[in-house]
Amino acid sequence: MAAFDTIIRGGTVIDGTGGRACVTDVGIVDGRVALLDDLAAAIAPEVVDARGKIVAPGFIDIHTHSDLAHLIDPRAESQIRQGVTTEAIGQCGISLAPCTAESRPEVFKAMGSQERGHWHTYGELLAEMDSASIATNVVGFVGHGAVRTAVMGADQPRPADDAEIAEMVRLLEQSLEEGAFGFTTGLEYHPGKMATYDEVRALCAVTADASALYATHARNRDKRYFVGFGEALDVARDTGVRLQISHINPKHGRPDDALRNTLQMIEWTRAEGVDVAMDMMPTNWNHTGATALLPTWSFGLSIDDLLATLASKDGRRRLRDNPLPMWQLAVEGQWDRIRLLDCAANRDLVGKTMEYIGVERNTADGWDTLFDLLIDEGPRLKGMLLTSEAFAESDNRLALEHPMCAVESDTMAMANDGPLAGRMFSMLGYNWVARFLGHYVRDEQVLSLEDGIRRLSGLPADRLGLVDRGYLRPGAAADVVVLELGAIRDNSSFENATIYADGIEHVWVNGVTAFHEGIRRPEHAGQVLRRV
């Protein structure tokens, strides 16, 4: 009689390929999927009845900012409770390594956090995570911002010279050799917006040589979307790097056909043999750091000088004069569509619109409200977050119609208790999977359930280069989720975005039960994955 560690009986198995579902049993041994078959005669110490439920590969979040969260609170509650078993960190050009003794404090300051740990190299960072008892698997990427700050310092809003680019290349090469899966840029943010095409190209050439993945938050996604996305495609064409366009959703202010034109550009580039894919957030709300709305020159100021500038009448006039801000909504004065997402000083205002806060505070307009809130944050102002109603539902649906569009959170692993209690990183941090599966797959039927599961599992696994995850098949790592599609519910709201989603019933990470019938298990079986 065959024996397994775990048997999942009678579920509707969706294997991550996009192929048709089938009803069968799943047997797990030693952290691996051993068999998909009729296991009625088999025994196991753990047997789960999954009749009438969906059994799928553990979900892979291809774009997260959980770098620091895994070290502060390794439980990753908001992700595990949504069936997420693997997270790709280091996105948008933001990573915790590599760093120097001088640049290290700036890396943490950019994240609005206190400094912790002792690593400098990327390998040392991964070793630190190895010892952190993490709950999800982690796939690490090297952020351009960390590399650039290590070489040039934090307050250098200027192009890099040839020697500086060469040193960035060396640090990236070393990090990729130490196990990073790829390289990312955030070209709409500081310091990424200062990078020239040649700087990005040199770093992507190294990434291509290592057969690693390049993920980019493009330089612009509204009025100049053609330049922003076109640059990413040119870099991939020029270097041969595998390209992942992060959050393809164009923002408010874009021309009506921006996404359709972008998808056409992508198809032309793919027809040339260039490896290009994309991902998107399943929401209409776009979040960012509040300081991202400020002009480029302000990033050359120290925190004290920036606070002084925010407090002066002339400084405020200069800060408003920004030819290419993060959000056109701010330029248009649509402060009723911009909300305070997270902060340290005014927790009672989180979730409120900037228009509402301005009325409460009797400020002249949304800009003065923003400046006042930043002053209230003091030295922590870079950690203040905003969210805006920036994405069109029609664009979201159009992006999902493309078979190479994965779904991502652009958030971080959180918990509504413990050291991260009450914190938010996006409106859907606790509910992004539920929003996608419940709204776009089940209710709107934009995708079949099989294809929807593929966008969360097999597709991101292939993009990341994970050979033994993302699929339910013999030999694969036993990252598995059991869900009831009819019970999937997005519980997020502006009044309380930190309520966990409904509908996920069981989660295994590397064969170890992490979530069972709505109860979180204490065991953490996540692994730091390394590119080989």
pLDDT of the residue at 67: 96
Q: 330 and 256, same structural domain?
A: no
- Pairing verdict, β 512-516 and 504-509: antiparallel
Nearest-5° angle of CA 75, CA 462, CA 204?
Answer: 95
Do 337 and 400 sit in the same domain of this protein? no
Q: Tell me if 267 is assigned to some domain.
A: yes
- 152-161 residue pLDDT tens: 998 777 899 9
Q: Hey, what are 397's tokens?
A: 């649906």
Number of independent structural domains in the chain: 2
In a domain, 204, yes or no: yes
> How far apart are alpha carbons 151 and 148 in whole angstroms?
5
401 with 365, same domain: the answer is no
Question: Same structural domain for residues 137 and 207?
Answer: yes
Is 54 inside a domain boundary?
A: no
Residue 52 domain-assigned?
Answer: no
Same domain, 90 and 149: yes
Q: How far apart (Å, rounded) are the C-alpha atoms in residues 428 and 493?
A: 9
Domain assignment of residue 146, yes or no: yes
Same domain, yes or no: 183 and 266: yes
Q: Note the pLDDT of residue 424.
A: 82
Q: What is the pLDDT of residue 259?
A: 97
Q: Poorest-confidence range of 56-65, 194-203, 314-323, 368-377?
A: 314-323
CA–CA distance, 461 with 441 (Å, rounded to integer): 20
438 vs 23, 342, 442, 460, CA distance in Å? 22, 26, 5, 20
Q: Are residues 125 and 164 both part of a single domain?
A: yes
The reported pTM is: 0.96
The residue out of 344, 366, 389 marking a domain boundary is 389
For the beta carbon of residue 301, count every other beta carbon within 10 angstroms: 17
pLDDT at 1: 57
Q: Which domain holds residue 319?
A: 299-389
Residues 105 and 219 occupy one common structural domain: yes
Task: Give the amino acid at 62.
Answer: I
Region 330-339: mean pLDDT is 95
Phi, psi of 214 (to 5 degrees): -110, 120
Q: Of 467, 482, 503, which residue constitutes the final position of a domain?
A: 467
Report the mean per-residue pLDDT for the chain.
95
- Residue 517 in any domain: the answer is no
Residue 195 has pLDDT above 80, yes or no: yes
Query: Could you tell me if 209 and 352 lie in one domain?
Result: no
- 519: in domain: no
Mean pLDDT of 333-359: 95
Give the separation between CA 147 and CA 218, rounded to whole angstroms.
18
Mean pLDDT on 282-306? 92
Residues 362 and 422 placed together within one structural domain of the fold: no
pLDDT in tens, 510-523: 999 999 998 999 99
- pLDDT score, position 300: 83
Name the percent of the chain lying above pLDDT 90.
Answer: 90
* Residue 519 structure tokens: 């109860």
Residues 30-48: tens digit of each pLDDT: 999 999 999 999 999 999 9
349 and 404 fall within a common domain: no
Better pLDDT: 293 or 423 = 293
Among 400, 414, 412, which residue's Cα sits nearest to residue 446? 400
Query: CATH number, domain at 242?
Result: 3.20.20.140
Average pLDDT estimate for 279-293: 95
Task: Out of 409, 442, 467, pick the residue that ends a domain.
Answer: 467
The pLDDT-based confidence of 106 (bands split at 50, 70, 90) is: confident
Which tokens go with 499? 């309520």
Q: Is the pLDDT confidence value at 359 over 70?
A: yes
In a domain, 179, yes or no: yes
Burial of 43 (0-12, 13-18, 19+ CB in 10 A): exposed
Examine the domain organization and report whether 208 and 150 are in the same domain: yes
